A and B are shown apart, each in its own frame.
Chain A
Amino acid sequence: MEGIPASEYQQRVSNCQKFARRQGFDAVLAYSGSRYSMGQGVESGQHIRYFVGFNFPPHLIQEEDVVVPYMLGDSLVVIPQEGNPSLLLSRQDPKSERAKNQVWLRDVRSISDEFSDQFSGAINRGLAELTKAVLDGKRKARIGIAGTHFSLQLQVELSKVLHKTKFVECGNELDQLRAVKSPNELRIMRKAADIADEGVRAMIETSRPGVAEYEVHMAVEKAMFDAGGDNPWSVIQSGPRATISYMSPDYTQRKLREGDMIYADIGSELMGYHSDIQPAYIVGKGNTEQLSIIEDSLNMLKAMFEAARPGATDTDVVKRAYAVINGSPFRDYVRKWTLGHGYGVGSDPPDMTSATLNLPKSKQMKLQENMVLCLEPGIFVPGVGGAAVEDEVIITANGCKVLTNCARRAGELLNEQRSA
């Protein structure tokens, strides 16, 4: 699969420079690392992946010792208002040396040896000193800083070495630059979505009484690897575990039983981009309540499909979903904190809005053509079961195009169950 050409990364840097000019920033510092937090979002190198690259196809990852620096530790992309960007790495080792030869960007530097103790916080000092050196001779009265997990310690060290500079947080604004996807990005994301769909197909095939959750997971993982995915993952929660969203191990030895609902979350990485979908499923024959849970989730998702178009806000989309289940006995069991999110480079869901789709929101976001959203209404009822139906959509000129098949499959499941 073709990668994203260097010219596109250059274009992104130049868009960021335009943004810096609008905001009156002399430079923008974009932090990347590899960090995962259920409470505070995911940091998986989105800035470095977006501006610099390292988005390798699976065959390079398999056969070359390519290095992905967002997993090497903390790093900064320094984008001055004019001129060339720099990448600052927090390690000085053969891996970082290799990283330097793997990107289009000319200026890649590592912190000096004296700051290299990874566990002492000295790297923050090292990154601050490097930033100062990179911006030497340039104006630096006002600098934008961005990164979901840009640390307090790094801010403190930057303020020490650049004590006349005013640092202004611009993470949300910088995230917005990523919200609208290019044709190259859409091409990769469509493929990643197809791969996840193969995973769902394998899940449905293997989910039979007596099969363990982890065996379903393995079948899903294998199907996505075979379909060309890189780093596929899945969550398979059955029976009583299906009533818990995200507060449980991803899969266990539990053997599926007739009448179990399955809550599953499935996706794959591909060249730095991700997919993320959720099928609803019942092993064998489900009861009326279980079918109603799926039907409500599906109706919410369909309403969201209808509402998602350029000019609509994320809140409009969420409100439409709630409107269709007014009066449903399961309304109070909706997973309120997420009805969806943007998606793109890195595994960072806030790619669109820096926040998930939920209510109430203090700040709304207008949808635009070529944004990619994952819509994931879900209902979890203790004693009964849980289901979410999640599909990925691209916002088009007049509405949205659904990339994956979870809604379609949920509709088929309901028909099958009702005719049985």
Chain B
Amino acid sequence: MDPIPISEYRDRLRKCQELAHRKGWDAILAFSGHRFSMSQGIEDGQNLRYLVGFNFSPNEIQERDVVVPYHGSENLLIIPHEGESSLIISTAETERIRKQTWLHDVRTTTDQFANAKYLGMSHIALEILNGKKGKLGIAGEHLPMDLHLELARAFPRTKLIDCTRDLDSHRMVKGENEIRIMRKAAEIADEGVAALIEACRPGVAEYEVHQAAEKAMFDAGGDGPWSVILSGPRSVIPYISPDFTQRKLRDGDMVYADIGTELMGYHSDIQPAYIVGRGSKDQVDLVQTSLNMMKAMVNATHQGATDTEVLRAAYKILEGNPFRDHVRTYTFGHGYGVGLDPPDLTGRTLTLPRNKQTKLKQNMVLCFEPGIFVPGVGGAAIEDEVVVTANGCEVISRCAERAESLIDQQRSLG
């Protein structure tokens, strides 16, 4: 699969420089690292992946000793308002990283600042920006407090202005190359779902279902596939259990699954609904309600609509619905793109209430994931990825379609 050309990365950096120009900043310092937090978003190198690259193909990852600096190291990208950008890394892997990037200036904190990387980053940034210290933009979902303090010390008379959201917003609308990679990543996740449905039989352990899904995604060309398989009583608890266990599936279990893969730095993320064997009426109704919400969201999505309008369409389905109070309220969806960061769309997931709405634009990629979780009954979410188009959206995965077949099949059992 063809990578994203270097010219596209240069364009992205130029857009940051235009922002710096407009705001009167001498430079933008973009932080990236690897940090995952259930409650506060994800930092998975998105600034570095988006602005510089290191988005290797599976073949390069397998056969060359490529290193991915957002994994295992924290990094600061210095984007001066004009001229070439520099990268400060905090790993000793300088030689390999230099060979593997198109950036000309890569420096490390490990030589002089082995045990004080934030001090090192700040000093090296000062050296690079030599003299320019009027105003600086700083960005990074999880820019560490200690780095912020060190920067303030190194640039005592400089105003540091948070521009995390500005940089995030550059990522929202995808280019053709990005959509090409994301479509492929979504197809791979779909193969994972097909394997899940094949494997979900009574007596099979959750982890065996996980392994079948993972294998299918590797075989389909995915890189770093993952899956969450929660069955029976565990299906009513999204996100707070081990991802899969030795629990053996039983007839009548609901399965809550979340499946995705990485591909050249981009990710997919979908959720099928499933019932092992014969489901109860409540279980089938629950899947139907999630599906209706999903359809309403897809119908409400088009260029110019807001995220809140999309959500309201889903909530409208719930009026008078017995499952209304069991909806997973904290997420109905999110943007997606480079890195694992779901807030790629808006800096936030789709929830209500929102004080700030985001207008959807053509070529944004969204993951919609309405879900219902009822203790004693089961849980289901249906998640598909969509690309926003001028008149609507294109659904690029097949979980809603499969949920429809599941419901038909269950109802035909009587």
> Which residues on A are within 8 Å of B, measured CB to CB?
33-40, 58, 61-69, 71-74, 90, 94-95, 98, 117-120, 123, 149, 151-152, 212, 214-215, 218, 221-222, 225-226, 230-231, 239-241, 243-250, 252-254, 269, 336-337, 360, 362, 382
Of listed A36, A248, A360, residue having the most chain B CB within 10 A: A248
- Which of B35, B72, B236, B241 is close to A246, meaning CB atoms less than 8 Å apart? B72
Q: Kindly provide the distance from the CB of A73 to the nearest chain B CB, expressed in whole angstroms.
A: 4
In the complex, whether B348 has a CB less than 8 A from a CB of chain A is yes
> Residues 33-44 of chain B: 1 if any A CB is under 8 Å from the residue's CB, otherwise 0?
111111111010
Given contacts A250-B224, A252-B58, 6 further A-B contacts (CB under 8 A): A65-B234, A72-B38, A74-B39, A117-B353, A225-B205, A253-B62
Distance in angstroms from B76 CB to nearest chain A CB is 11
- Inter-chain contact B142/A225, CB cutoff 8 Å: no
Total CB contacts across the A-B interface at under 8 A: 172
Assess the B240–A39 pair: CB atoms within 8 A. no
Query: If A214-B215, A222-B211, A253-B218 touch, does A37 touch B62 (CB 8 Å cutoff)?
Result: no
In the docked arrangement, what's the CA distance between A97 and B68, Å? 41
> Do B245 and A68 touch across chains, with their CB atoms under 8 A apart?
no
A98–B241 alpha-carbon span in the complex (Å): 14
A252 touches B241 (CB 8 A): no
CA of A222 to CA of B209 in the docked complex: distance in angstroms? 12
For A67, what are the chain B residues with a Cβ–Cβ distance below 8 Å?
Answer: 237, 240
**B308 at interface, CB cutoff 8 A:** no
B190 to chain A, nearest CB (A): 18
**Docked CA distance A95–B245 (Å):** 20
Instruction: Answer yes or no: B344 CB below 8 A from chain A CBs.
Output: no
CB contacts (< 8 Å) of A149 on chain B: these are: 37
Smallest CB separation, A250 vs chain B (Å): 8
**Docked complex Cα distance between A72 and B207 (Å):** 22
Taken together as a complex, chains A and B put the C-alpha atoms of A62 and B206 apart, in Å, by 10
Q: Is B65 touching A73 in the complex (CB atoms < 8 A)?
A: no
Residue B175 is within 8 A (CB to CB) of chain A in the complex: no
Tally B residues with Cβ within 8 Å of A. 65
Given contacts A38-B71, A95-B240, contact A152 B145 (CB under 8 A): yes
Given contacts A33-B37, A62-B247, A231-B242, contact A247 B233 (CB under 8 A): no
With an 8 A cutoff between CB atoms, is B341 at the interface?
no
Residue of A nearest to B245 (CB): A62
B35/A39 in contact, CB under 8 A:
yes
- The answer for the CA separation of A212 and B221 in the assembled complex, in Å, is 13
In Å, the complex CA distance between A122 and B61 comes to 41
- Given the known interface contacts A63-B247, A214-B218, A248-B67, the answer about A222 and B207 at a Cβ–Cβ threshold of 8 Å is yes
Which of B19-27, B86-94, B165-173 is found at the contact surface with chain A? B86-94
| Chain B residues, Cβ within 8 Å of A214 | 214-215, 218
**Chain A residue at smallest Cβ distance from B219:** A253
Does B330 count as interface, using CB distance less than 8 angstroms?
yes
Whether the pair A73, B38 counts as a contact (CB closer than 8 A) is yes
CB distance from B54 to the nearest CB of A (A): 10
Does the CB pair B246–A119 fall under 8 Å?
A: no
Contact B96–A382 (Cβ < 8 Å): yes
Nearest Cβ in chain A — how far from B216, in angstroms?
A: 11
**Which of chain B's residues has its CB closest to A35's CB?**
B37
Give complex CA distance A360, B115 in Å. Answer: 8
Closest Cβ of chain A to B268, distance in Å, is 15
Pick the residue among A90, A151, A247, A382 that contacts B69 (CB under 8 A).
A247
Contact A65 B236 (CB under 8 A): yes
The docked-state distance in angstroms from the alpha carbon of A7 to that of B344 is: 46
